[in-house]
Structure 1
Amino acid sequence: MTDLSVASLPDKRLVAVSFSRAAASYDSVAELQRDVGHELMNRLPVGLNPQRWLDVGCGTGYFSRVLGQHFPHSEGLALDIAQGMLAYARPLGGAQHFIAGDAECLPLQDNSCDVVFSSLALQWCAHFDAVLSEAQRVLKPGGVLAFASLCVGTLSELRDSWKAVDGQVHVNRFREFSAYQQLCAESGLQVKSLHTQPHVLHYPQVRQLTHELKALGAHNLNPGRPEGLTGRARVQGLIAAYEQFRQPLGLPATYQVVYGILEKTR
């Protein structure tokens, strides 16, 4: 099974820098991130009582604090690749330890966590098989991996609108849902549930969407992206193309969210 090629995803160093810069503005525009994370929390198996949980891609620590409240007697670890996010999250608490690290190479011992939680971070990982292998390694037997990620179909309106303007890469790439299915099936973890659910946000104008993506640190970081400022004519072309998608609530931006609950059975 081939996963996304490294060349098709942003350099992780650029991702770390971009999200570090966005730390102070992130929570002000993170409506989708909160909705998805709370949905993932609701999907956790009933009766979980972990001794230690790990929040992978903790960002500003919003869900580290939610997990800390949900599991008040547990030890919490919050991990992120972006030092700026960790610096923002650490004073706000929620976890006992804030760790700089990568989901594809966790700096943790084997069989050391009961829950690995990750909401809207793993889409930046080129090797999802490595993510699953690392989760399996650090989970104790009976431990749970709960993740929310993004798949193909995300920001399709923005992608199609840019396609009408030029042939360059303007929107971040995501793996197919079928890749998530196959990689999870081959992971050695037991798949309790795995499916997609669209989340649609609406905006008055395109510039509100593009501003939000930049404030989140999730704007276009792909190889092959245009360099320099986008010309006025192309921006006007984007606006005109996106208007074809307008609905009564505004311009839609669809996120295809993958929700997965996997268990380490042995």
Structure 2
Amino acid sequence: MSELRGVSGTDPLYQSLAAHDAPYGDAALPDKRQVAASFSRAAESYDAVAELQRNVGTQLLARLPTSLRPRRWLDLGCGTGYFTRALAERYAQGEGLAVDIAEGMLRHARPQGGAAHFIAGDAEALPLQSDSVDLLFSSLALQWCADFPRVLSEAQRVLRPGGVLAFSSLCVGTLQELRDSWLAVDGFVHVNRFRRFEDYQQLCAASGLQPLTLQRQAEVLHFPDLRSLTTSLKDLGAHNLNPGRPGGLTGRSRIRALIEAYERFRQPQGLPATYQVVYGVLQKPS
């Protein structure tokens, strides 16, 4: 296929939170090699706990232009391939590509089909030729990319004129309850950092792509206790991946303090975990 370039085939409460301390104010995003390794390890457990991911991806699908009929589409950050298969069903007349940085996810997704090619690749350096796809779909993957302008530049490069970039991502305010609870305990960052929604607005406006929609929407999950939340994050591969964190377990007294701090947020449905989701649909000028 000529369009492809460089194709290549203990206790969760402690593990998910305790060994990931970093001083507040270090704004660096996680190393993508660590992101890839974490999601590769989570490939087998991911689908069982991906309620939010399925809901967000379904909402992103609903935002796609109804007139869109892509000859070739790309699922970027395909994960286990759940939305690769949904796109294949929706656009049966088109050819599908699936790209992920995590080889473990690709090994899990390939046997289930949905795409003509499953490709190891990075959103900041897509292994595709220019003007080669009509739809670039990416749900809850781009928050791990440090250089979002580069992501948008790559999307503009690989999209054909009139092609659409549809993405969902996360912004500041995600897991705020957990962040605030940790800050009450020790003042360290134990929660992944995300961009401001205003940054998404500015970067999309300057990208050369035409924003058709760009919205922020809160999604709230509820858990019976803190351990259930941290286990879910670990099974997703989305536990804290901040750089510069020393190893070592958090003491039991700090964990008890964290539980007490988080309990202040309890609602009748359980302990809330709020995700601030960004939905964007952008079009390359014809």
| TM-score interval, smaller chain | over 0.9
Out of 95, 104, 107, which is 1:75 matched to? Answer: 95
1:64 aligns with 2:80: no
* Residue 42 (structure 2) pairs with residue 22 (structure 1): yes
Letter in 1 for 2:34: L
Which residue of the partner structure matches residue 96 of structure 1?
Answer: 116
**How far is 1:191 from its partner?**
0.5
Residues 27 and 193, structure 2, Cα contact 8 Å, conserved in 1:
no
| Structure 1 match to 2:252 | 232
Deviations 1:185-230 (A, max 9, x none): 0000001010100000000001100000000000011014352222
Show the 5 A alignment for 1:100-249.
Answer: 100-249=120-269
Q: Distance in 1 between matches of 2:249 and 2:127?
A: 39
Does structure 2 retain, via aligned residues, the 8 Å contact 1:169–1:226?
A: no
Q: Deviations over 1:161-191 (max 9, x none)?
A: 0001112220000000000000000000001
Distance 1:163 1:226 in 2: 17
Cα deviation, 1:5-47, whole Å, max 9, x if unaligned, reads: 9961111100000000000000000000000000000000012
Q: Aligned partners of 1:183 and 1:143: how far apart in 2?
A: 18
Question: Which amino acid letter does the alignment assign opposite residue 270 of structure 2?
Answer: G
Q: Could you tell me whether the CA contact under 8 Å between 1:55 and 1:117 is conserved in 2?
A: yes
Letter of the aligned partner of 2:163 in structure 1? G
Q: Distance in 2 between matches of 1:226 and 1:219?
A: 15
Deviations 1:34-84 (A, max 9, x none): 000000000000121100000110000000000001111110000000000
Contact 1:150 1:255 in 2 (8 A): yes
SS of equivalent to 2:127: coil
Q: Which residue of 2 aligns with 1:38?
A: 58
Q: Distance in 2 between matches of 1:172 and 1:80?
A: 20
State TM-score, norm by structure 1.
Answer: 0.97
What secondary structure, in the 3-state scheme, does the structure 1 residue paired with 2:85 have?
Answer: helix
- In structure 2, runs of 5+ residues without a counterpart are 1-24
Whole-Å separation in 2 of the counterparts to 1:245 and 1:6: 26
Match of 1:48 in 2: 68
Percent identity between the aligned chains? 71
Partner of 1:152, secondary structure, is coil
Contact in 2 for aligned 1:57/1:80 (Cα 8 Å)? yes
Distance in 2 of aligned mates of 1:240 and 1:54: 44
TM-score normalised by structure 2 residue count? 0.90
CA RMSD in angstroms, aligned pairs only: 1.2
For residue 197 of structure 1, give the secondary structure of its aligned residue in structure 2. strand
Q: Distance in 2 between matches of 1:166 and 1:14?
A: 25
Aligned-partner Cα distance in 2 for 1:226–1:158: 19
Q: Is the 8 A contact 1:170 1:226 kept in 2?
A: no
**CA offsets 1:91-127 (integer angstroms, 9 cap, x no match):** 0001110000000000100000000000000000001
- 3-state DSSP of counterpart to 1:8: coil
Q: C-alpha distance in 1, partners of 2:279/2:42? A: 25
Paired AA for residue 126 in structure 2: L
